[in-house]
Structure 1
Amino acid sequence: MANLEDRNFSTQAPLDKASSNGRVPANPRRFRSIKWFVFFSGILMCTQSALSMYTKGVLTSIERQFQISSSLSGLLVGSFNVGNVLFVVLVSQLCSKGSRPRCMAIGAMVVAIGGFLNAIPHAITPVYDPDYLSNITSGKSETRGTTACGTSNSYMLIFAGEMLQGIGAATLVPLGSSYVDDFAEGTRTPIYIGVMLFLQNMGPGMGFLIGSLTTTVYVDFDKVDVEKISIDEKDWIGAWWLGYIIIGILVILSSLPLFWFPAALKSSNREELNSINPRDRKGCKPSDETCQTFGGRRQHISREHCGKVICFLKSTFITVQRLLCDPLYLCVVLGYSALMFTVGTLTTFMPKFLETVFYQSKSRASFIFGMSMPLVLCLGLVSGGLVVQKAGLKTRGKMIFACVISAVTILLCAFSYFVTCDVENAAECFGADVIKENASSCFHQLEVKCSSRCYTFVAIVSLAALLACNIITPYYSVILSTVQPQDKSTAIGLKFLVIRVLALIPSPVITGAVIDGACITWSTPSPCIGSSVCLEHDRNEFRYSFLNIIFSGVAFTFVFNLLGYFAQRSKGINHNVAVNKEADLA
């Protein structure tokens, strides 16, 4: 490692020399500092998360365009995390030995390509026919040739695009945070990483806002004369594909400055980095010519192979086993996973919930959610850290804080059951005999009547989310303060892996399947359900099913927090007994 860092720092010398000879402008060199890296990488993370969240903001339009069910659209959203999980370790390992800023920039290019790939289905899909779905609702439809089940399979390209985005995004946070940790002053590292994460968490709001704008534009405005089209709100599909192009270009532009940063910066941490001795690792030593494998046989392999492969696998397995046998760590990770399951459900289907239960238009639902939820998530992350810092909470106090916050969140979630919007004669807007002009006016009246109740519901959910996100920073602090020092990086990485596998990947799929269960009218016959869109839901069943998932996620978070508190007490007692025994022996 020392040799590696020497090589990295030696690359700075030619650059400095080149600058003194005039080949690199002197003034722009001052931008190659850790502060500017934090700024540029934070902007890049913001645009990447905006592109990822944009899909959720236009998900209803995608469902209607390609006639896919909510469970299938949930799988589409989850494919981002599938690509991220499959490649995060490989990508991080491959890029850790090279120029991390350039690897991040290349990863951003992959993200942008994934975004552009998401827009391709629009170009190869036939022009949208709103009358077809309207006729299905009124019972006047006829089977269209060979495409009885669904309109097109071109939406499969969106699966590939989401996976590419997940693969490219796998380079950003691990490489960016490690680069900052290596070359920033030790006392300022948490501040820099906090700035990066804050900018990243501004991206979801940006994605939803762009989604609210693009859904006001007709999906085929580039193919047909929009002025000649008469369409009501329930059949409207916005230009969902347009945002992918816009945000994809922003991702490319925000990645360009990172190509300029060197593999290493001058840092006060250089001596600390070079002082790490690879021989201190547990397991095989690089000096060994042979290495004991797990099967019990000895193989003659090179020192480099032994140190980098066998030792890495063996030490990783031991570390993971040690972490999973720690009750406190396990409870914290499971509590975090339950909370992220709830967040995954909210961010994926909350706009659809507002459309169905409170009769809000697609663009208005995305706008309301984009202006509220991402903002309170950011505030929750910051306020949770401030509470822990100002109160000087130790591990026990942090777990008590998590238990109290999750209990109050449960109460707020319970209040959300009582907020709905039941309008008399609302079903008349969905009748087969309603002409389109009257239907549009009817939908607008419903939207206005339910706006105040919609805002009340969003306020309750936002307040609950604000409180719940106060737990996230204490979770990080508990993990870092209780695991062994050499296990910290693996503990954080394992936490991200568990959260994606148990929460972020399955939550959209499970919630989508539950929402499909509340459907009463499909766009195609029952044998096709799963490849068809739901045209009408049972509003009460939809509402209770969705809220039950939210309530269950928060309840499980409270249970695991409570178990974590008792695990911390047991761990503290055992630690004190061990210390007393050592003192007696001494």
Structure 2
Amino acid sequence: MQRFGKRNWMLLWLCWFCTVQGLLVNGLVPSAITSIERRFQFNSSTIGRIMQFYDFGYVLLCIPVSYFGGRHSKPMVLAAGLLLMALGSFIFTMPHNFSDSYTSTHNAHEPTFSKCHPSHTSSGLRKNYALLNNSLYALMSAASAEALRSCPSPENQPGTFRYVFLFCLGHFLHGIGATPLFTLGVSYIDENVGPTLSSLYLGIFYAFAIFGPAFGFLMSSSFLRYHTDFLQSELHIKILNIDETDPK
């Protein structure tokens, strides 16, 4: 193990940690957040709350981790942060495993008869029946409003709070796990590298903070090509005739 106790290996593992943090937090999660919003029928405010929990975790633990972590073994604290990020990523994937199979609720080329579909709201009726006279539109709009009163909002669907909680908890752990990286990690480099090489090592370290999000977006561009229920057999996946012109 003595061969790994060199500053080059230290820089390698810190850069790897920095790449994983950027890949997850600034690459994969932001690029997939719109798919999560559509998959679980979240609104924009719910998505905003989920994304904020990373900052909450980082801000709340930044000072305590910097203070107490500096008094103990910095490599152990950094390793614990990486494990917390792994745990947060696992929790972030749990809603996909707990939820039912995803089915599209709308096809632009086929009529939809569900009373709770958005096309049956007042604005949807105005679009679908723009050619009808005003009296018929008023009657249909009133009937649609009466029917929609019995439809639960997407936020009140069974299990929605559980999914939001898991997403928030997972992203909160991401923030806690990333806390020692840019606090103790920088000081750890300064302690083990001479003044002449400190700026070079820190420059390499921060450069990988940029490579991480780039790798994350490249990976997400490939992952988003797969169906959300990719673990199921293709025979159980209904492929709809939907293209980029479809409102869904």
Same fold? TM cut 0.5: yes
Aligned residue for 1:69?
Answer: 43
Whether 1:197 and 2:199 are equivalent positions in the alignment is: no
TM superposition shift of 1:149: 2.8
The correspondence for 2:12, drawn from 27, 35, 39, is 39
The one-letter amino acid paired with 2:96 is H
Amino acid corresponding to residue 154 of structure 2 in structure 1? C
8 Å CA contact retained: 1:43, 1:200:
no
> Contact conserved, 1:121 with 1:157, CA < 8 A, in 2?
yes
Distance in 1 between the 2:170 and 2:21 partners? 13
Match of 2:120 among 124, 135, 139: 139
* Partner-residue secondary structure (3-state), 1:216: coil
1:92 correspondence with 2:66: yes
Write the distance in 2 (CA, Å) between the matches of 1:226 and 1:119: 24
What are the superposed Cα offsets for residues 388-427 of structure 1, whole Å, 9 maximum, x if unpaired?
Answer: xxxxxxxxxxxxxxxxxxxxxxxxxxxxxxxxxxxxxxxx
Residue identity opposite 1:182 in structure 2: E
The one of 79, 92, 95 aligned to 1:121: 95
Distance 1:70 1:44, change over 3 A: same
1:58 maps to which residue? Answer: 32
8 Å CA contact 1:218, 1:226 repeated in 2: no
Query: CA separation of 1:170/1:133 partners in 2, compared to 1, >3 Å: closer, same or farther?
Result: farther
CA contact (8 A) 2:85 2:173 kept: yes
Superposed, 1:380-399 pairs within 5 Å as none
CA distance in 1, matches of 2:174, 2:228: 23
What CA distance in whole angstroms lies between the structure 2 residues aligned with 1:228 and 1:40?
41
Give the equivalent residue in structure 1 for 2:225: 216
* Identical counterparts, % of pairs: 27
Q: Show the counterpart of 2:216.
A: 207
Matched, 1:149 2:158: no
Q: Which residue of 2 aligns with 1:373?
A: none
> Which residue number in structure 2 is paired with residue 543 of structure 1?
none
Higher relative contact order (CA 8 A, sep 6+): 2
Larger-Rg structure: 1
Counterpart mapping for 1:373-452 below 5 A: 436=241, 439-440=242-243, 443=244
Aligned letter for 1:33?
Answer: K
One-letter amino acid of the counterpart of residue 39, structure 1? L
Q: CA deviation at 1:164?
A: 0.6
Give the secondary structure class of the aligned counterpart of 1:172.
Answer: coil
Amino acid at match of 2:17: L
Verify: 1:49 aligned to 2:5, yes or no. no
Superposition deviation, residue 40 in structure 1: 1.1
1:208-357 alignment runs, 5 A limit: 208-223=217-232, 225=234, 228-231=237-240
RMSD of equivalent CA atoms: 2.5
Distance 1:228 1:177, change over 3 A: closer
Q: Which amino acid in the other structure matches residue 205 of structure 1?
A: A
Residues 38-97 of structure 1 show CA distances to partners (whole Å, capped at 9, x for unaligned) of: 111111110111111211010110110111122321221121011100101111111111
Alpha carbons of 1:148 and 1:43: their partners in 2 closer, same or farther (altered >3 Å)? same
Task: Return the offset for 1:132.
Answer: 5.3
Task: Pick the aligned partner of 2:194 from 164, 185, 190.
Answer: 185
In structure 2, do the counterparts of structure 1 residues 196 and 119 end up closer, same or farther at CA, with 3 Å as the change threshold?
Answer: same
Letter in 2 for 1:139: H
Deviation at 1:31, TM superposition (A): 2.4
Is 1:30 paired with 2:3? yes
Residue 210 of structure 2 aligns to a residue whose secondary structure is helix
Q: Distance in 2 between matches of 1:118 and 1:137?
A: 28
SS at match of 1:195: helix
| Contact map agreement 2:53 2:171 (CA 8 A) in 1 | yes
Shift in Å, 1:138:
3.9
- Residue 126 of structure 2 aligns with which residue? none
Q: 1:92 to 1:162 in 2, by over 3 A?
A: same
Scaled by the length of structure 1, the TM-score of the pair is 0.34
> 1:171 maps to which residue?
180
Question: Where does the alignment leave 5 or more consecutive residues of structure 2 unmatched?
Answer: 122-143
1:521 corresponds in structure 2 to: none
Aligned to 2:133: none
Q: Which amino acid aligns with 2:15?
A: G
Separation of aligned partners in 2, 1:72 and 1:228? 28
Matches of 1:183 and 1:119, distance apart in 2: 37
1:146–1:225 Cα change, 3 Å: farther
Instruction: Name the residue aligned to 1:454.
Output: none
Alpha-carbon separation, structure 2, partners of 1:171 and 1:133 = 47
State the Cα deviation string for residues 208-250 of structure 1 (Å, max 9, x = none): 122112211111122453564123xxxxxxxxxxxxxxxxxxx
Task: Check the 8 A contact 1:83/1:166 in 2, yes or no.
Answer: yes
Structure 2 Cα separation of the partners of residues 85 and 32 of structure 1:
32
Aligned residue pair count:
211
**Distance (Å, rounded) in 2 between the aligned partners of 1:30 and 1:36:** 9
Q: Which whole-Å CA distance do the structure 1 matches of 2:107 and 2:82 have between them?
A: 38
After superposition, the C-alpha distances for 1:447-495 in whole angstroms (9 at most, x for unaligned) are xxxxxxxxxxxxxxxxxxxxxxxxxxxxxxxxxxxxxxxxxxxxxxxxx
Q: Which residue in the other structure is 1:427 paired with?
A: none
The equivalences for 1:353-372 within 5 A come to none
TM-score, L = length of structure 2: 0.77
